[in-house]
Amino acid sequence: MPNNALFYLTSNDMPLVSHADGIYIWDTTGRRYIDGCSGAITCNIGHNHPTVKRAMVEQLDKVAFSYRTQFESQVALDLANKMVDLTDADLQKVFFVGSGSEAVESAIKLAIQYFVAEGQPERSKFVSLRPSYHGSTMGALGLTGYEPLEAPYRSITIGSVKVPSPDLYRYREASVEEHIAAVLRQTEIAILAAGAETIAAIVLEPVGGASTGGRMVTRTYMEGMRALCDRYGCLLIMDEVLSGMGRTGAWFAYQHYGVAPDILALAKGLGSGYYPIAAMMAGKELVDAVGRSGGFMHGHTYAGNPLACATGLAVIDVMSSEKLVSNAAEQGAYLRRQLEQLAEKYDCIGNVRGIGLLQGVELVQDKVSKQPFPAAFNAFDRLTALAKGRGLLIYPRRCLNGLEGDHVLITPPLTVTASDIDDIIALFDGSLADFEQVAREQAA
């Protein structure tokens, strides 16, 4: 076999993928895996869907690529209008890009250019949460609060003003309400210390993703953050790269809270893994102001290309016709109940959290004290490897600034049935038993 020239973060001992269908993926040895995390929480409609494949081929037969300054495509117009409808017109303008990081970068640049157009160029700072994840490109990385990702590039990124993320599992106040009030106070103090007149936007995830393991916030928190933006004249940007497009049992996670953003970043589930497509959505007044100043000084070669937009439109059509958003709510509730039963069975599960088919499981060494496993034990990687050995794919990370606090995400495609979830839980159950055995042997 020739040397592997690929260069990624992980080692090169992964199986070779062969094919996939629905919630299953096979490797070239014929082994089958349940995709219990939708790849990277991406394949919302599952693999190999005939409707999407047909739409892609039909578009390929017409034109795969046209450049946005030379032509517009009907599928791009149709997809943009469809997405506005899904927000109930909370956001009226759409800018297509190719990835989640690009969507976040676009949101940053639109916010900056809006304030330049409005005669407030001093508004150039952003407030974001720690922990959080907003992407790997330089601007998005500056917003990210995840130490292992930040550290190598700190000298060349423009960091945001970091404020605490609500933690409904590890809070130290007397109640959730007091905890939320304390976090909002700390956020306001940080805004004032940085200079409220210099803040362009607050950026947050309505439901935490890889950096927090499905960490939730509350309606009071979201209303409080919206109020801070309104009080100090900055924008509210929501990053739904991971939580958007039906994953949480609503088209967009912000809809659970009744608080709309000024700018919204989307990706992953929009293309559902079939073709790279992402989007920034914004209010008309922002876009109009930028337009009057000469237009949005931003763009990418593949922004809004026809094949990507045809794919996104087909994905939404599948989600609508198969009622996958409501299925995410229904099956997500069932998955949550099954995970909570496992939490009663296994001492290593400290917390189960999330909403819809975005569920996180935090691992602890001690359930009472909530003490995390030592970082060197790499609990998140160990459990993920054990699950993969049983034929279940899950998604690991750490939720305490990326340094400790191991968790895994259970985020299957939105097409799952109760029977599929039973299969996932059976494999995860065995993986947890394997994990606790390894942990006991390590401690002995």
pLDDT at 1: 42
Nearest to residue 91, comparing CAs of 288, 235, 377, 284?
284
Token output for 123: 């508004």
pLDDT at 10: 63
pLDDT at 443: 77
Q: Cα–Cα distance between 4 and 393 in angstroms, integer?
A: 23
Nearest to residue 239, comparing CAs of 222, 263, 221?
263
Q: Cα–Cα distance between 381 and 377 in angstroms, integer?
A: 9
What domains can you pick out in the chain, each with its CATH number? 17-48+323-443 (3.90.1150.10), 53-321 (3.40.640.10)
* Amino acid in position 313: L
Q: Cα–Cα distance between 431 and 388 in angstroms, integer?
A: 9
Token output for 204: 């947050």
Beta strand pairing call for 392-393 and 32-35: parallel
Q: Cα–Cα distance between 391 and 358 in angstroms, integer?
A: 20
Token output for 410: 């259970």
Contact by Cβ (8 Å): 214, 253? no
Beta strand pairing call for 358-363 and 404-410: antiparallel
pLDDT in tens, the chain (444 residues): 456 787 776 656 789 999 999 999 999 999 999 999 999 999 999 999 999 999 999 999 999 999 989 999 999 999 999 999 999 999 999 999 999 999 999 999 999 999 999 999 999 999 999 999 999 999 999 999 999 999 999 999 999 999 999 999 999 999 999 999 999 999 999 999 999 999 999 999 999 999 999 999 999 999 999 999 999 999 999 999 999 999 999 999 999 999 999 999 999 999 999 999 999 999 999 999 999 999 999 999 999 999 999 999 999 999 999 999 999 999 999 999 999 999 999 999 999 999 999 999 999 999 999 999 999 999 999 999 999 999 999 999 999 999 999 999 999 999 999 999 999 999 999 999 999 999 998 877
For tokens 């059976």, name the residue: 426
Bond from prior residue into 2 cis (ω within 30 degrees of 0): no
First CA to last CA distance, the chain: 41
pLDDT at 3: 65
Alpha-carbon distance values, 123 to 162, 164, 201 (Å): 16, 22, 8
| Cβ atoms within 10 Å, residue 267 | 27
Q: Cα–Cα distance between 291 and 92 in angstroms, integer?
A: 14
